[in-house]
Amino acid sequence: MPTRDAFDRDLRQLSDDLLRLGTLAEDQVRRAVEALRSRSVELAEEIITSDNAVDQLHLELEDRCMRLMATQQPMAKDLRTIAAIWAMTIDLERIGDHAEDIARIVRRMAPEPPLKPLIDIPRMADLMRAMLRDGLDAFVRRDTALAERMAAADDTVDHLYSQVFRELLTDMIEDPKRIQRATHLLMVAQALERMADHATNIAERVIYMVTGTLRELNV
């Protein structure tokens, strides 16, 4: 029969590996935007390949969450922690997927001349990465106030996305020859906006884990 000490040790390791998954996902985003800026197909290919590590760790964490719940009969607070970690692994895996999407877009964009200097898209990426770091920090510290503040940053990401959308739509209308290049950048911005939504989900799970109340933020 597993002991409480063994359970606590397994739960700590699970939390540590969640943070490791978060670090991998954030690094994927950082490198994807770097590949976009430098128009590096080589870096884009590396990102696409390394997404396998994100996927594999996500599946491993899911399996460990299931086994902990099945074999340890955790108490309510512990059960919330495991459920929150499980949900957060899904959001982190999706963030990694969106970073891979950006890398694939970079690969398609490579033969095209740049449409315009990148300003708002890198800002979106920086904000999203800060959200992710704050969300994971809130998880470690069990800090619901930090989770709330982090989720509020999603409004800024949404505003930047709307701005990028309007500018790129104007480019398409004014010069149809720009449609393909503008569409690629729009897809990148959309991927970043969705990443910020997943980061907001992490904040929601932190609040649920601490308080037992699951509610949507930024509705």
Structural domain tally of the chain?
A: 1
Instruction: Provide the pLDDT confidence category of residue 3 given band limits of 50, 70 and 90.
Output: low
Which CATH number do you get for residue 69?
1.20.58.220
Instruction: Provide the pLDDT confidence category of residue 1 given band limits of 50, 70 and 90.
Output: very low
Domain that holds residue 203: 4-211
Q: Is residue 12 part of a domain?
A: yes
Q: Is residue 45 part of a domain?
A: yes
Q: Is residue 217 part of a domain?
A: no
Q: Is residue 200 part of a domain?
A: yes
CA distances from 167 to 24, 115, 121, 156, 164 (A): 32, 12, 12, 17, 5
Q: Inform me whether the pLDDT recorded for 219 exceeds 80.
A: no
Q: What does the pLDDT look like over 107-137, one tens digit per residue?
A: 999 888 888 889 999 999 999 999 999 999 9
Mean pLDDT of the chain: 92
This prediction has a pTM of: 0.94
Q: What does the pLDDT look like over 177-193, one tens digit per residue?
A: 999 999 999 999 999 99
Q: What does the pLDDT look like over 59-109, one tens digit per residue?
A: 999 999 998 888 767 677 888 999 999 999 999 999 999 999 999 999 999
The arithmetic mean of pLDDT across residues 151-176, rounded, is 94
Q: Is residue 33 part of a domain?
A: yes
Q: Is residue 216 part of a domain?
A: no
Q: Is residue 51 part of a domain?
A: yes
Q: What does the pLDDT look like over 50-69, one tens digit per residue?
A: 999 999 999 999 999 998 88
Q: Is residue 219 part of a domain?
A: no
For residue 198, the model assigns a pLDDT of 96
